[in-house]
Amino acid sequence: MKCSKLIVTLGLGLVAGVLFGDVTNDYSAALRLFNDKKYAESEAAFAKLQTDYPAADVNLLAQAQMSIGNLYRVQKKPTLARTAYQKAIKDYPNAPADIMVKIECYAAGQLLPGRGAEGIAQALAEYRVISTNYPACSVTYKASVQHKIGTMLLLQKKYAEAQVVFEDAIKAYPAIQPEFLVAIMASDYTALKGQGKIAEANKMLADRIILNATKCKQTGGVLLKDFDRILPTKSSAVDYMSMLVEMLKAVPATEANAEFLGKVKSEYEKVR
């Protein structure tokens, strides 16, 4: 009897290893290929994982397909990236809400490169749909989608509408990660400047942005990563970069922040 139980236990362990252990290892291996910029091998590995383990955790499967989109995105192939993201949305609709929001936002973002005003309008429409389709997602992702909506309005130079979106997000999600809250405030600053509300913008910088920036453990690239898209004109770039320089004087003096401040100052010198 004990021997039978042992065999059953070993058998179940082997099944679990096949179903879960190997898929995790294969995912990690595919990710290493991605990080090593071996994109063709990485894509094949992520695709094979989905074929080999159809009953695996839907979260992991969705992320595997999302990673195929990501590898096209980093290669600046937006059409192929969008197709890959849309496949993830279609194949894994029951993935966790946060993952679905992330994939949908990536897909919408691929409408922007090289498509001008039309791409911005289409992306804005998709972000608005995303904002209502996933009520169960975390507040971080809800805030992120609102930030993207406001950013599209900035690109359309609809500064007053953008300001409303940003300030609604700041009020609704005050407890999100400080780095993301500061990013939304920084975009609100840009919207105020775009309307010529200089005094209000400066007050935002002094009373809210710098204050919250001091809570950031790592400012990182959150504020600068969309620099080229959000700030298409030289004048808006100068305003934004000067704000970043002042803000970053107040953040913790970590090595990451020091490196980021150096990048900000370098970009600032290029545009001013």
The tokens describing 95, both together, are 């993935």
Residue 231 has pLDDT above 50, yes or no: no
- Burial code (b: 16+ CB inside 10 Å, e: under 16) for 2-31 equals eeeeeeeeeeeeeeeeeeeeebeebbeebb
The CB-side HSE value for 163 (13 A sphere, CA atoms) comes to 16
For the chain, percent of residues with pLDDT exceeding 90: 52
Amino acid at 220: G
- Which residues, at least 6 apart from 190, have a Cβ–Cβ distance to it below 8 Å? 154, 230, 231, 236, 239, 240
- Cα pseudo-dihedral 209, 214, 217, 218, rounded to 10: 50
- Give dist(CA 85, CA 97) in Å, integer: 15
Strand ranges (E), 28-112:
none
**Topology of the domain covering 23-137:** 1.25.40
pTM (predicted TM-score): 0.77
- Which residues, at least 6 apart from 92, have a Cβ–Cβ distance to it below 8 Å? 58, 61, 62, 65
Residue 17 has pLDDT above 50, yes or no: no
Compare 182 and 217 and report the one with higher pLDDT: 182
> What is the helix (H) or strand (E) element at residue 96, kind and residue range?
none
Instruction: Map tokens 């002094």 to a residue.
Output: 206
pLDDT band, residue 270 (cuts 50/70/90):
low
pLDDT band, residue 145 (cuts 50/70/90):
very high
